[in-house]
Structure 1
């Protein structure tokens, strides 16, 4: 059995983006297994006396898992 993990990026219409990814990979014989999407906080820094300070940012992490019979 083969597995494939595809990145899943943030989109305005999440359901349409996910459906597109599933349809694209189904053509190659891969079956949808699961997906995961979450936001992770990347801490910023205070800089030197505030100079060069960077705020905290949110990183979007997502992927879709497929499997295919060998």
Structure 2
């Protein structure tokens, strides 16, 4: 993680949450496609999108925590 301001960390946390939401929406779409078609590739894509959503969620949590810490001490580290 690079040294950023509290606001920079919060912006990055928001971006990660948006990406998480997009991943979860794609996951839902693939699950519906799998239910309709029975094509196993849709299920695999849904699982991949779920994993990506988890990564983005973790990234958002880290950025948010860093932003909170930076807001308290403001030293840029």
Shorter-normalised TM range: under 0.3
Which structure: greater strand fraction?
1
Q: Which has the larger radius of gyration?
A: 1
Using the size of structure 1 for normalisation, the TM-score is 0.27
Using the size of structure 2 for normalisation, the TM-score is 0.26
